[in-house]
Amino acid sequence: MAWKDPFKGVSTEAIKNTDIETLNTWDRRTIARAVRRLADTANKRIKAFEEKGIESPAFLNVMKGGGKFTTRGKTVNQLRTEFIRARDFLTMKTSTRKGYAKVKQDFFDRVEATSAQKISLSDNDLNRFWRIYDKTESNIAPFVTGSQQGQKLVFDIFIQSNNVSEEDLIKKVYQKFDMYYEQQEELNDYAGTSDFYSI
């Protein structure tokens, strides 16, 4: 009996949303076909980034994690891994040029970036910012009200000191937040004293 493509007429989106339980029931030929469908869409997105020289977080993540997608020479388990890798890439907002542009604009709005900063900051600069923020986020979280304030404060430090190493930038972030914490403590102490004398 001739093999029938189980995904004929099925959208890439529907294939991408296949649950792990179903994925584990497929034989190698079926998984390979599903991966080829996802890979076709994913590799087109990667090519578009390469042609425009754009390094979005999704693009960098996938290139560091194995590069373009393929089924060639892979075992069933490797194909399952490739399916999940392609699915995760296609799910990321920054896996399309339009999505990346929207994410960048939303970020610039949150940190109140100037027009000059929006123009001058490269993808590499933005990826550098996120590496620094990710490394410091958990430590600065107790001192800020939400991630937006944290990103804004780290961004301001980043802009002022972008010419130093990432290690030195992280130190500057912690120094700034130590100062910020001390200022808040002084304000709280002053407010408490004012309340005492107003009784």
How do residues 42-59 score in pLDDT, each as one tens digit? 999 999 999 999 999 999
Domain-located, residue 103: no
Residue 41: pLDDT band (50, 70, 90) is very high
Domain boundary among 52, 71, 97: 97
Range of the domain at 141: 113-197
* Residue 120, pLDDT above cutoff 50: yes
Domain-located, residue 47: yes
Give the Cα separation of 13 and 4 in Å (integer): 20
Same domain for 82 and 36: yes
Phi-psi domain of 92 (left: phi exceeds 0; alpha: psi -120 through 50; beta: other):
beta
Q: Mapping DSSP to helix (H, G, I), strand (E, B) and coil, where does residue 65 land?
A: coil
Domain-located, residue 106: no
Please identify which residue in the block is written with the tokens 């075992």. Answer: 75
Total domains, the chain: 2
Average pLDDT, the chain: 89
Q: What is the mean pLDDT of residues 160-177?
A: 87
**Tens of pLDDT along 69-118?**
999 999 999 999 999 999 999 999 999 999 999 999 999 999 999 999 99
Give the Cα separation of 132 and 167 in Å (integer): 9
**Tens of pLDDT along 175-199?**
887 776 676 667 666 655 555 454 4
Same domain for 123 and 89: no
> How many angstroms separate the Cα of 166 from the Cα of each of 80, 125, 130, 158, 197?
36, 11, 11, 10, 47
Phi, psi torsion values for 62, nearest 5 degrees: -75, -35
Same domain for 86 and 19: yes
Domain-located, residue 1: no
Q: Which two tokens stand for residue 20?
A: 């792990």
Same domain for 88 and 30: yes
